Amino acid sequence: MTFMVGKALLAACVAAAASGVQAGDHRYDPVTSVSANAPIELAVAGTYASGVFDEGAAEISAYDPWTRRLFVTNANANTVDVLDIRNPRRPRLQFTIDLSAYGVGVNSVAVSHGIVAVAVEADPKQDPGSVVFFDVKGRYLNDVTVGALPDMVTFTPDGTRVLVANEGEPDDDYLVDPEGSISIIDISGGIAAASVATADFQAYNGLDLTPIRIFGPGASVAQDLEPEYIAVSADSRTAWVSLQEANAIAIVDVDNARVTDLVPLGTKDHGVIQNAIDASNRDDGVNLKAWPVVGMYQPDAIATYEVDGETYIVTANEGDSRDYDGYSEEARIGDVNEDFLVDPSAYPDLALLTDDARLGRLNMTTATGDTDRDGDIDVLHVYGGRSFSILNAAGEMVYDSGSELERILADVLPAEFNSPNDENGSFDNRSDDKGPEPEGVTVGEIGGRHYAFIGLERIGGIMVYDVSNPIAPRFVQYINNRDFAGDAAAGTAGDLGPEGLTFIPARHRDGRPLLAVTNEISGTTTLYTIRVRGGHGRFDSRDD
C-alpha cells in the first residue's frame, strides 16, 4: 500500500465562532493520506462550529436537497440546528427547531421528500420516546409514540415509512430495563394519519441464542437486545439492525413489522498477524502484534448498498460494553484471578501476558468467554473489531479490514497513534480500549463506483474505501481535519469525535458530491468536497 502524506501540521487554529468557521479561517492543514492513483479525493470545504465542547452539540445530520439545508442534532441544546450549506465553504446557521416540548434528548434526524423526522427520548429514558415530524421550514406536523430510547431514525428509500431503533437501555441501577424494539411508522397516507407498528424480540424469549450475547442480569432476550442502527434495502422491504452489545444483526421484514432472523457476528482472532492490535497504552510505542484474544465486532453504524442486484451491509465495528452502577461487565485482563477466573490450561503463560506492557491493560468482558460453562473464562473476549466489515444480505461476513485501519494510522500519524478525542498530547491512550473506534459509516456512489466513508471516533478522521467489489475493498484516502497542536477544550483543535456521516450526491446540489461530518466532541459540522480524478489523471479543480 502506497501513501502520500499531506503537509505537516502548523499552528493552532482560531477558536470557532458560533456563526461558523470558513475554510479560509483554518491555520492548520488537515492530515491527509491518499493512495496512489486514487479515483476520488476529499478536501475540507468549510466548517460550522457550535462553540460547545464535549456536550454532543453536533451528532447526526440529514440533508434536504430542495432547500440545500443540513439538519443537525444538537443534544446540548435539545434542538435540531438547520444549516444553510448552499455555499459549502461558508455553512451558516439558518434557524433551530426546539424539541423541549417533546422530550429531553434529541438523538437522531432524517429527511425525505420535505419531511423531517426527529427521534427524541423521554425523561426517564426508560419511558416510551417520540418521533416528531416537521416540514423543512421547521413547522410542526405531528408526533407519534415509539419505544424506549429511540436512538436512530431513518426513512425507507420509497419515503412511505419511518424506521426507529429503540435502544431500550436500563437505568443506572439496572432495576428498570425496557425492551428493545424497532418502530415502523407508516406515513403513506400522510403525516397526519401516521400509524406505528412494532417489530420486537419477544418471540425469542426463553431461547438459547448462543453465541449472541444475552447477559444482562435478570433480563429476557427482548429486554437484553438493544437496537443501535438501521439500514434498509433499496426496495424498502428489508431492514438490517445492529445489536451492538449483543454482537449481532437483526433482519426485519418491514412490510409485516417482524424480526425474521437474529444473526451472530462471531469473533475476530487477534492471534493472527492480519488481525494484530496494539493492546497496551503502557508499551511506549506503536506495537501492532498478534495476541491470544478474540474481538467482538459489535458494530455501531451500518449502511447498505447494491452490487449486481445483491445487497451488502457495511459495518463500523466500534465495540461497546455495559458499564452501570448496578452491573458492569468491564475488566482489565491484568485483574485476572482477582475479580474473575481464567482457565489456566487455556492460558498457561497468563502471568506473562498480564504484564501492563502486554495484555494487562486491555479491556475485556467477564460476561462471555466461558465456552465450557464451568465457571472460568476459556477465551478472552475484547471489545470491537477495530475495523469495518462487509456482510451479505443473510448477515454473513464476506470481508473484514483486519488490522489495516490501525496500520494506516501508525504510518500516517505515528506520533498521535490511538489518541483520544478530547485532548491532545495523549499518544497511545486508547490502545488498551478499542483503538481508533470506527463508529460512523455511509456509502455513496460516484462515477458508477461505491465508496464507504468510515468515521474514527477517537483519533478522528475519515477512512475512504472503494467497496465496489465487496470481497476486496481498496483503500482510497484517510483525511483528518484535526489540529494536534491545538487545545481541544478551547476550541482550537479542529474536528474531534466524528459521530455522523452524510453523503450528498452531486445530483442533489448541482456540483461536486459532498460528505457532511458531524463531530460530537468539538461540536463542529464539516463539509468535504469530493474531487473526482479526470481523464488526464488530475483531480477536478472546480471551485464550489
Band (pLDDT 50/70/90 cuts) for residue 246 is very high
Mean pLDDT confidence for 284-300: 97
Task: Assign domain 4-320+384-532 to a CATH class.
Answer: mainly beta
Mean pLDDT in the chain?
Answer: 93
Contact 163, 184 (CB under 8 A): yes
Tell whether the model's pLDDT for residue 11 goes beyond 80. Answer: no
pLDDT at 394: 98
pLDDT at 2: 37
Q: Give residue-wise pLDDT tens across range 101-114.
A: 999 999 999 999 99
Tell whether the model's pLDDT for residue 1 goes beyond 80. Answer: no
What predicted TM-score, i.e. pTM, was given to this entire model? 0.94
Contact 182, 163 (CB under 8 A): yes
Tell whether the model's pLDDT for residue 19 goes beyond 70. Answer: no
Cα distance between residue 382 and residue 320, in whole Å: 10
pLDDT at 8: 31
DSSP state of 323: B
Residue whose C-alpha cell is 478551547: 490
Residue whose C-alpha cell is 446557521: 93
One-letter amino acid at 87 equals: N
Domain borders along the chain are 4-320+384-532
Tell whether the model's pLDDT for residue 3 goes beyond 80. Answer: no
Cα distance between residue 120 and residue 148, in whole Å: 10
Tell whether the model's pLDDT for residue 541 goes beyond 70. Answer: no
- Which of 26, 140, 40 minimizes the C-alpha distance to 467? 40
- Which of 266, 285, 280, 180 minimizes the C-alpha distance to 223? 180
Tell whether the model's pLDDT for residue 12 goes beyond 50. Answer: no
Mean pLDDT confidence for 399-425: 98
DSSP state of 282: S
Contact 168, 181 (CB under 8 A): yes
Q: Give residue-wise pLDDT tens across range 328-384.
A: 999 999 998 788 899 999 999 999 999 999 999 999 999 999 999 999 999 999 999
Tell whether the model's pLDDT for residue 536 goes beyond 90. Answer: no
Query: Percent of the chain beyond pLDDT 70?
Result: 93
Between 73 and 534, residue with greater pLDDT: 73
Cβ contacts of 464 within 8 Å, gap of 6 or more = 40, 42, 451, 452, 453, 454, 475, 476, 477, 478, 479
Q: Note the maximum CA span of the chain.
A: 65
Q: Which three cell numbers stand for residue 81?
A: 440546528
pLDDT at 23: 41
pLDDT at 535: 65
Mean pLDDT confidence for 2-13: 33
Residue 260, Cβ neighbours under 10 Å: how many?
Answer: 11
Alpha-carbon Rg for the chain, nearest whole angstrom, is 22
pLDDT at 534: 76
Pairing type for strands 267-269 and 330-332 reads unpaired
Pairing type for strands 258-264 and 498-504 reads unpaired
- Which of 321, 305, 176 minimizes the C-alpha distance to 244? 321
pLDDT at 354: 95
Pairing type for strands 397-400 and 387-392 reads antiparallel
Mean pLDDT confidence for 158-186: 98
Determine phi and psi for 449, rounding to 5 degrees. Answer: -120, 155
Cα distance between residue 114 and residue 116, in whole Å: 7
Mean pLDDT confidence for 59-80: 98
Tell whether the model's pLDDT for residue 4 goes beyond 70. Answer: no
Tell whether the model's pLDDT for residue 21 goes beyond 60. Answer: no
> Length of the chain in residues, anyone?
544
Q: Which three cell numbers stand for residue 359?
A: 495484555
Tell whether the model's pLDDT for residue 116 goes beyond 60. Answer: yes
Tell whether the model's pLDDT for residue 22 goes beyond 50. Answer: no
Q: Give residue-wise pLDDT tens across range 23-35.
A: 445 568 999 999 9
Q: Give residue-wise pLDDT tens across range 439-498.
A: 999 999 999 999 999 999 999 999 999 999 999 999 999 999 999 999 999 999 999 999
pLDDT at 25: 54
pLDDT at 18: 35
Of the listed ranges 74-88, 373-387, 503-517, the least confidently predicted one is 503-517
pLDDT at 511: 80
Residue 288's region, left for phi above 0, alpha for psi from -120 to 50, else beta, is beta
Q: What's the angle, vertex CA 382, arms to CA 377 and CA 387, rounded to 5? A: 150
Band (pLDDT 50/70/90 cuts) for residue 544 is very low
